[in-house]
Chains A and B, each alone.
Chain A
């Protein structure tokens, strides 16, 4: 019965702990290792123009739902302009509430302005950790075809061009590259040259391709965006996006090939301009891009704060920073305890006190290992000699313990002063915590010294130190620290493991030595 209860409890704990852990690690995307860095990007658009002392209205396309990225920390910086944000259809016609519209715009307006004006839009792009899940996809309804509004002459040219391309290609994968090849300036095809008159540059070619594709019955739109690389004046690049076989396909105009762009960030879609202006001159938009490295943990936490605030409401990250720092240490104690359980019950180490090594390891964290071991050895040796001397004075136990404590404090203060004078700054890194532990250790050692002899006592000190060093190594491991703090649910697993060790009735490793006389037969 008891055993069944234990098994059920252990499996429940394991399932819950590992389940939450798996959900957080693989669905929510918490990083498993501490120093995973994610590159996030700061993107900024600067809109500048000359105002003409009249009502001003400036419109800028802003970043919207992007595949593989989350847009956070959006700022609109403008002195005293009114700001309006809304959605806009691909053809650039006005503000709409239609959430299917793919472009988000910002509209700055002011009754009267004069002289040079600068408006800023900046945003941070965070890569999504789990691309399958939340990546934004296009609306799935089949897009409608738009009349390209060709003049009869243009229609003839388009027909001839499309016939030529159609005869030289086999399917859509070859049709589009061929078409773009003919449209890309400088074009030596006369039909193409006629169609592109008055629409210079790559943008003109892309827009014409969209019209031609609509003309031949393939829904398409242009996509304008930037490439993520550090730049103060990032050039806009234009891609073609067409709907075919029930899905959207991106076509890289510069490469002349289909493909999903890697570091290309779509800014807006359709034939609306990046920015438009009423009541001003010399409109100029400069885009700049700069990478920022943040830890992926911070990235995930901030991203979840935006997307799923409910989950983050019940997490350690919600605590004040100082409490978080304390918990980073406190959460390590169970690790030391489990290690101790293992070393004592499975290996068979014997140590001073049950959890003394874990406490010593904790104080090593404050002093660092090598210095901690030196400090402990020095103070224990000196403290022990004082304690043995006090024995001669026949003091009672509690006053003697107090004497040892006072001497330990003095010793540590002395060591700090001397080592600081000698230029070892580590010497002053001791704090309240190790002091008490040291006095307790000295008292225990000296009692054992009296009772069991020096050899046994030294053996125990070395054993305790060894376990403490092992515990320190486990407790100062940054992976373990990261895992315990980010995934506190792993303590349920720890609890289950400890319970399982609690039922381990086999031999301890060191009992092999203890019973070796029996093995010899």
Chain B
């Protein structure tokens, strides 16, 4: 067993304890957390800095504001309802279309307007927020995901997670929902994780349920070699996340929209570690090399150049 620990260490794998003590605690000062914990704040912040985010249709702060809901539902056919302070993708309701008086979810089930209203009420009472604090609900643009991943995605929205350390993107992963993950992009729940080559933006290796895998389990198409368009722009958006928040160790979740290109969905002050499994590489060596040079990297462009050069696989 000690041998396994040693092997993990030599691979440069970062564990939870080491992530918290070595990166999250020293580089993410607690006062900065509200910037990313509250998605409404994040949205305002990123919008004003010129980052692409999904358009915000409305915010519900209290129960009586719900009377604005019918009018909002009238205007939009597809949208996403989410808690401002939710964590881990909890409490997100996606509506993809209308069918008479009902609304359609991605899995083609129908919900009524009352269900949506009830869901918002649950969000307001703090059911999905950290620590059960009263929360706000936001309704925003539902991403029309880009056909790039048509062959390798099943339901749900594939997203790209990029770890940004001191402003330098160090590792990226494409998360593909599967039938088993029920449209969710969380690896724990059976989504598929694909490593991405930092230089070319092409998918490389993939893991599904903790085992290497070459094809998507539902569509049976090969995973590797899919090029992500506008890769450099994507990295730039991620690196801007650092400029905007000041968080030294940051996870940036980006989705590719059919028409709007990359949209930042979420910033995460304590991103998970599954990205290492997807890339079949440890984070430690990359983080160490950033530590060595980050003083000399002043602009986003320099950081991205460095990342694309240094972390090519």
A residues contacting B by CB (< 8 A) are 345, 348, 394, 396-398, 447, 451-453, 456, 503-508, 511-521
Contact = CB atoms under 8 A, between A and B. Distances in A.
A396 B62 CA distance: 13
A520 B9 CA distance: 14
A505 B15 CA distance: 8
Given A451-B90, A518-B276, A506 B114 contact: no
Interface string B1-16: 1001101110101011
State the 8 A-B residue pairs at the shortest beta-carbon distance, nearest first. A397-B125, A507-B15, A505-B18, A505-B21, A394-B118, A505-B17, A451-B90, A511-B15
B17 A517 contact: no
B62 to A, nearest CB: 13
Given A503-B21, A521-B280, A515 B13 contact: yes
A396 B189 contact: no
Looking at A456, A508, A514, which has the most chain B CB atoms within 10 Å of its CB? A514
A520 B121 CA distance: 47
B122 A518 contact: no
A452 B276 CA distance: 23
A521 B8 CA distance: 11
A517 B126 contact: no
Nearest to B17: A505
B182 interface: yes
Nearest to B86: A451
Interface in B103-145: 114-115, 118, 121-122, 125-128
6 contacts: A451-B128, A505-B21, A505-B22, A511-B15, A517-B212, A519-B7
Contacts of B13: 507, 515, 518
Contacts of A514: 210, 273-274, 277
Nearest to A452: B189
Nearest to B1: A512
B263 to A, nearest CB: 24
Query: Quick one: which of B9, B16, B91, B273 has the most chain A CB within 10 A?
Result: B16
B99 interface: no
Nearest to B127: A397
A517 B15 contact: no
B287 interface: no
A515 B8 contact: yes
B238 to A, nearest CB: 24
Contacts of A503: 21
Contacts of A519: 4, 7-8
Contact of B18 (A398, A451, A506, A513): A506
The residue among A345, A451, A453, A456 with the most chain B CB atoms within 10 A of its own CB is A451
B207 interface: yes
Contacts of A451: 90-91, 128
Nearest to B119: A394
Query: Taking each of A447, A503, A517, A520, which has the highest tally of chain B beta carbons within 10 Å of its own beta carbon?
Result: A517
A512 B277 CA distance: 12
A451 B121 CA distance: 16
B16 A508 contact: yes
A504 B17 contact: yes
B261 interface: no
Contacts of A452: 189
A348 B273 CA distance: 14
Contacts of B282: 518
Contacts of A507: 5, 8-9, 13, 15, 17-18
A492 to B, nearest CB: 23
B292 interface: no
Contact of A348 (B16, B121, B126, B277): B16
Given A505-B22, A506-B5, A518 B15 contact: no
B16 A517 contact: no
B106 to A, nearest CB: 16
B8 A518 contact: yes
B134 to A, nearest CB: 10
B211 interface: yes
B130 to A, nearest CB: 12
A396 B125 contact: yes
Contacts of A520: 212
A515 B207 CA distance: 11
A396 B121 contact: yes
A147 B282 CA distance: 96
A394 B280 contact: no
Contact of B122 (A348, A397, A453, A517): A397
Given A397-B127, A512-B5, 7 more contacts: A396-B122, A507-B13, A507-B15, A508-B16, A515-B277, A517-B207, A517-B211
A398 B115 CA distance: 18
A456 B118 contact: no
Contacts of A397: 121-122, 125-127
Contacts of B16: 348, 508, 511
B151 to A, nearest CB: 23
Contacts of A518: 8, 11, 13, 276-277, 280, 282
A357 to B, nearest CB: 18
Contacts of A511: 8, 15-16
Given A451-B90, A456-B189, A516 B210 contact: yes
Nearest to B90: A451
Contacts of A348: 16
